[in-house]
């Protein structure tokens, strides 16, 4: 079984390009935004170049719905959360394998770890650095 984990401080996240490929493979339309702070109420800026993976620290909003201008436009289910993807999702694994380091989000270094299919496992996290542990009893 292949599991995607993050191997550096920061935490699991996908690049905008990786999210785009993931959403398209799932059959969802893809729209990416960055967030700016303004007084006019419109604070979502559509991204035109999702292949720019150098935007460390930027806040990205992914949606299957176009025309979002601010948080007031967002309804439940409008925003796609890459951190909620099951780490064994075959599409996620394929995207990470295909893109390599271009799949990494702003503070991520993604790696695919192979474990036996019959092992019960969990992901342990220390300041964003993840490792896979076999589930066992603790008292």
For the chain, how many structural domains are there in total?
1
Tell me, yes or no, whether 67 lies in a domain. yes
Length of the chain: 139
CA separation for the pair 36, 30 (Å, rounded): 20
Structure tokens at 106: 């702003």
Quick: pLDDT tens for 82-105.
999 999 999 999 999 999 999 999
| Global pTM value | 0.88
Does residue 139 sit within a domain? no
Q: Which residues does the chain have with pLDDT short of 70?
A: 52-58
Enclosing domain of residue 13: 2-134
């Amino acid at each position: 079984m292949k599991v995607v984990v993050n191997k550096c401080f920061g935490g699991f996240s996908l690049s905008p390009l990786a999210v785009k490929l993931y959403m398209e493979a799932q059959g969802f339309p893809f729209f990416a935004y960055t967030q700016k702070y303004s007084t006019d109420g419109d604070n979502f800026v559509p991204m035109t170049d999702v292949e720019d993976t150098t935007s460390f620290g930027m806040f990205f909003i992914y949606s299957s719905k176009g025309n979002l201008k601010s948080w007031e436009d967002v309804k439940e289910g409008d925003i796609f959360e890459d951190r909620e993807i099951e780490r064994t999702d075959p599409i996620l694994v394929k995207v990470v394998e295909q893109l390599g380091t271009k799949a990494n989000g702003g503070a991520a270094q993604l790696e695919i770890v192979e474990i036996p299919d019959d092992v019960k496992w969990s992901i342990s996290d220390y300041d964003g650095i993840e490792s896979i542990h076999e589930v066992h009893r603790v008292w």
